[in-house]
Structures are given as structure tokens and as C-alpha cells.
Amino acid sequence: MIRKYKIGNPIETDSVIEAIPEILIDQEKAVIPASGEGGTETIIPASGDSNSKAVIPALGDENSGWIVDKHGKKLTFSMSSHACIYGLGEQVRGINKRGWHYVSFCSDDPHHEEGKTSLYGAHNFFVYDSRDCNDNICFGMYVDTPGRVEFDMGYSDPDEISIIFEDFDAYIYLLKSGHPSGTIMDIVRQFRRIIGRSYIAPMWAFGLGQSRWSYMNADEVRGVADSYDKAGIPLDSIYLDIDYMERYKDFTVNDEAFPDFKEFVSEMSGRGIHLVPIIDAGVKIEEGYDVYEEGVKGNHFVKKENGDLFTAAVWPGRVHFPDFLKEDTRRWFGDKYKVLTEAGIDGFWNDMNEPAIFYSEDGLKKVFEKIDGYKGKNLDIDSFFGFQGSVSGLCNSEEDYGSFYHEYKGQRIRHDKVHNLYGYNMTRAAAEAFDKIAPDKQILMFSRASYIGMHRYAGIWTGDNMSWWSHLLLSIQQLPGLNMCGFLYSGSDMGGFGGDVTEDLLIRWLSFAIFTPLLRDHSAMGTRRQELYRFKDTDMFRNLVELRYALIPYLYAEYLWAADNDEMLFKPLAFEYEEDVRAKEVEDELLVGRSIMIAPVYTQNASGRYVYLPEDMKMIRFRGYDDYDEEQMKAGDHYVRAQLGEVLVFIRKGHELPLAMPDMRVRDIDTENIHYIRN
């Protein structure tokens, strides 16, 4: 059962595609009519301060509910002591989100540390489960609002959830399951049904992708492909980061570095390698550059309040931002991808679309003036930090996000009010165009910024993580939340983007990432080179990537099944073994598809780990797709050995794991001769 409540005047986000009758929350009268499907209205008396508070029942128990606090612009809910909270998509911390506060505001921030509250995505769906506590309820909640909203999950008050709005305008969806078992998944499936089917990536996009910021020219790209081939490590794609462009201008190619690009794309595709270029949100301001000139002429760029174009800076220096929220602009920008699809490109990643802003022209001017005032002064504790902060505060500033406007669905709306829709609509622009400009191709597309709804158009990667063991764990823990929100094609920068990777970290990360749809080794400029063939134990890397290729028939089939049935590819144990209280606390094991569970090693110098089995399973310890040992194991706790290069897979009772014969490219995998490991 789903109930949709309306608070204030919400801005439509196009994230939910199913029509659901609205229940209006009348804030003024301080009561809310809570009508069920039969249409009978019950007036629920406001609790507490009767002028400002009303209650939304938490579905299932009319005594416990959400307090609507109009003046505080928040909804609050009393939690049971052992209740768990799952979801919120791309976020920091563990699978159970209880005990921290999370801010939904797409943020370009490469420091994915525990203390952070926002990453690149805004995914406002979660499930609350207190079925083994006194109040015994389980419900899902989706807060559909495109501006900033904070989810305080027991941070300010350990026993309370508070959802704090900047503007008290939102659609609130409450979802309840009628199933006595499989409750959480029933809620997830209902949610996924109303937001529409997830994007389907082509099968080749399950192959290994190699990326670097940046491969500077065609020869360097050829060299990467040659080295993989020479090492015998399968590879399907090579990513082109910003330096393939001519001075960071979207839809251009630097033809000194990549002479005859079309020919080069076809040469690589002849070898079975897909080139995947990046597209950034900002359009360089430069006379004579067609995208810039058309954008100005066609009124496609966002403007300030006074009607002047908003000027900011990203990689190319000064840019304008297309107003992706405008349908006409989406059509215009989407068509631009044609330059590249016509050259044979069939995969893209959209970046810097929170949008990331290094500085705005206005902001920079103010800082220069301010800094001028510090000249010749004795900078003391306050003035020194003020001086320092004025420069560092230029980047992605709230002031900038509040200083330009969109034309959205016939209305002029300030950016910060619809901030979380920007990357979503950039990606939607591309995906909608693909049907037109490349109708015969299945295009790979993933984005950095996102909102729920974008999952219908593309996948996401989890942005600029670090080569840290803690980020390997984070990437394991992020997957269930992403899947709950419809982002099935996803993965992290394997090996870590920032910082220097070590060989053992890369091996352990790969040992986990061979299960994620997006398997991409990407690293930042200035960091240690991270291509797999550069490390000492080439055999180990080859064995792991071959295992991935052998697993692709299983992974791709389970991925399609998850998309078609509103299911999750990666499930926490708690979603499957609902009666098992231990399963609720397992934060480092995942069910992958219907047949297997994985337990990755994510600590340095470990030769094994503790594994909790919620049922009897058959353990497979892989060293390669054709080199493994098997062991029947009983439900319960085990210490399991897993040396570097060994991958632990647990097959559920009555299930089988199909393994294909791997090859150097996904298209060549022998899917006819499948070998099954059965339990």
C-alpha cells in the first residue's frame, strides 16, 4: 500500500511515474486527513502544540506517526531502540543509516569521510524496520523534493528521526507491505514500481574498463590496450577523460592528440575496445565555439536574477551552464552527443553536473576586493582564517547556487530550489537523444550527480573516492542503498581515484568489484599509475578479471532480472533473512542476485575474515574461474581463510552458480558451454 501526502506546493521532479491520489496535509488547521483507499476521512487530532503540529500515521500503527512541525519545517518520528534504517542511496557510512545525519544536496566533494553529510547523489528513499521491537512496524518513505533536505537519523536525538526541510514543500510517499515475510523487499519493489524501470546497460559494459585522468593521446590509449592484451588480461573499454577534448570544450576532440578520431574509434572497436568519453556540464565561453554560440543564441544557458548570463568557471575556465531543466535545452544539448555517436562512440560518462563550480565571476570579484583589504595588515587569528576561507569558500558556494535561475515547467525557479535535478536532467537530455541519434545502439551512460528518476536513463559511479581500505568497505556498503533507489548499473572507482594505491588494495578491491556492474579502474592525475598490468603479480590480476568474465552470464542475467522485477542485485542479509536478528548487523556481506552471497576482505594484511552464514551454504574459494575449492558450511559464524587473490563466494541451498568460459572481450565469452557449481 502506498499513500502520497502533499505538503505545501511541491515542485514536480518527474521521479515518480505512477499516478497516486494525493492526501493534502493542511498545515493551517494543524490536522491531516488520513484517507485510506476507501476514501473515508479520519481526522487525526494534532498532538503537542496544536497550532503547529499534525500527525501522519506511520502506516500500520495509528498511535505512532510523523509529527508535522510547520514552524520548524520538519517531520519527526520516534524510533524504537533497535530499529534499523536502510537506504538513502549514495551516502557515507554503513548499510544501517541510523545514528548520523545526511543532507540531500548533490555535492562535488572528493572527501568521502565519515563526517560528511552529502555526496554526489540525492536519493531520498529509506525503509524503517522495527519489527523486532515494541512498536513492530516496517515502512518505506520517499521524500520527493528537489531542494536541500536533511535526514537526521538519530543524530540530534538518538531515538528520533527528523526530516528537516529548507522549504516545507514536498510529496511524501509512505509505503507499507502486506506481506508477513519478505516485507522489506515488498516495500522496495513497490517503490521501484512507482519510479519506473531501471536503465539497462549493454552487456559489454560489464567488461573491465580502464580509465585515467587522462590518457593524453591516441598512442597512449593504444598502449593501454596493447599492454592489457600482452598481459592476457581481458578488457572491454578505455575511458577518455577531459584531455581528449580541445581545451575542455564539450563535443570537441583535440585533433593533434587524436588525429582522425573516427578512424581511431573504428580501429579500437575493431579490436573490441569501446572508447568512453567524458562530457562535462559547463560549456566553455569562447567566440567561434559552436556549442557556446548556439547556446547563447538559443537562450539555453542559466541566467542571474537581472537576466545576465551566469558565468562560472570549471576546467576550461569561464563557462555557462545549460539549463537542462528546460525541455528545449535538453533537446538541443542531447543532440550534441551526435558528433560523438557518429564517430562510432557508444558510451559516455557525464561529469561535474552537481553542477561543480570552481568559482563564479561575481564570487571571484568579491574575493579579490576582500583580499585587497587584507593587504599590509597584521593577519591575526580571525583575519587570517577569514582571508583563507574567502578563497576556499569560492568553490561550490551556496551563494552561487542561490544566484541563478532555471526555466522549469513554465516557471522561473532559483537554482538552489531545484539543485538536485540538475545532473539528472543533463543525463536525461543525453538518454532521450540516444533514441533519436543512435536508435540501433544500446549506449552506456552513467553520471556523477543524480536524483531518483535518473535511474531510468542511466547508471552512476560513486565519484572521487580515495585509494583507502575504508573506501573499499564504503563501496561495498553503498550498493544496497543505490539498488533500493533504482541505480542498478553502478560501481566505484576501483582501486580508488585519489591517492596512491598499493598492489594488495587493488587486488582486494578488484576481488570485490568483479561483482559490480560497473567495473572500472580509474585514478586521478598525479597519483600512482593504476592499470592492472603495471603491478607485480600479473597472473593474479588476470585470474581475477577472468573470473569476472566467467561470472558475466550470471551477473548480467541477474541484473536484467532485477531491472525487470524491481528487485535488487545487491541485498543486505537483513532483506532476505528477516527473522534473523544477527543478519541485521552484518555490514560487510552481500547477496548478489538470487543464488550467491559474497564476503569481501577489506583490511590490509588479512589472510581471511569472519563470515556469518544465515543458512547452510556451499563456500567456493576461487583463485581463478577454473581453480577453486569447495566446502559445505553450516549456518553460523566462521573464520574463513582468503589469501590475497582468493575470492569467497557462498552458494545458497538449492541454487547453482553458472560459470562461462572467459575470453579477452565480453562479446567472445563462450556462453554455450556453461559450467555449473551446484549446492
Contacting positions for ligand GLC (CB under 6 A) = 213, 241-242, 278, 351, 448, 463-464, 522
> Minimum CB separation from ligand GLC for residue 239, in Å?
8
Q: How far is the CB of 120 from ligand GLC (least distance, A)?
A: 8
CB of 250 to ligand GLC, least distance (A): 12
The one-letter amino acid at 106: C
Supply the minimum distance, in Å, between the C-beta of residue 602 and ligand GLC: 22
Closest CB to ligand GLC: residue number: 213
The residue (of 183 and 465) whose beta carbon lies closer to ligand GLC is 465
Min separation Cβ 463 and ligand GLC, Å: 5
DSSP string for 272-299? T-EEEEEEES-EE--TT-HHHHHHHHTT
Q: Which residue in 495, 668, 478, 508 sits closest to 603, CA to CA?
A: 508
Nearer to ligand GLC, 351 or 521 (CB): 351
Residue from 449, 370, 424, 362 nearest 399 by CA? 362
> Among 11, 59, 13, which Cα is nearest to 36's?
59
Cell of 85: 534504517
Minimum Å distance from CB 213 to ligand GLC? 4
Given the complex with ligand GLC, which of 208 and 242 has the nearer CB atom? Answer: 242
The answer to whether 475 and 488 have CB atoms below 8 angstroms apart is no
Q: At what angle do helices 361-374 and 381-392 cross, to 10 degrees?
A: 160
- In the block, cell 534499523 appears at 84
* 378 or 392: CB nearest ligand GLC: 392
Contact 426, 447 (CB under 8 A): yes
| Residue 242 or 613 with smaller CB distance to ligand GLC | 242
Q: Which is nearer to ligand GLC, 340 or 651 (CB)?
A: 340
Q: Which residue's CB is nearer to ligand GLC, number 316 or number 480?
A: 316
Q: In whole angstroms, how close is the CB of 593 to ligand GLC at the nearest point? A: 28
**Nearest by Cα to 109 from 491, 390, 391, 395:** 395
Cell numbers that stand for 556 in this block? 548480467
Q: How far is the CB of 609 from ligand GLC (least distance, A)?
A: 30
Q: Using CA atoms, how far apart are residues 639 and 293, in angstroms rounded to an integer?
A: 63
Task: Please give the C-alpha separations between residue 237 and each of 347, 351, 511, 580, in angstroms, as whole numbers.
Answer: 9, 18, 19, 42
Nearer to ligand GLC, 242 or 285 (CB): 242
Judged by beta carbon, residue 242 or residue 437, the one nearer ligand GLC is 242
Which residue is it, cell 502486506?
A: 178
Report in angstroms how near the CB of residue 370 gets to ligand GLC at its nearest.
28
Report CA-CA distances (Å) from 327 to 200, 324, 337, 432, 660.
23, 7, 16, 11, 44
Residue number, 406 or 520, with CB nearest to ligand GLC: 520
Residue 495: CB minimum distance to ligand GLC, A: 13
Question: Over 520-566, what HEC string results?
Answer: EECCCCCCCCCCHHHCCCHHHHHHHHHHHHHHHHHHHHHHHHHHHCC
Pick the closest to residue 209 from 438, 495, 428 (CA basis): 495
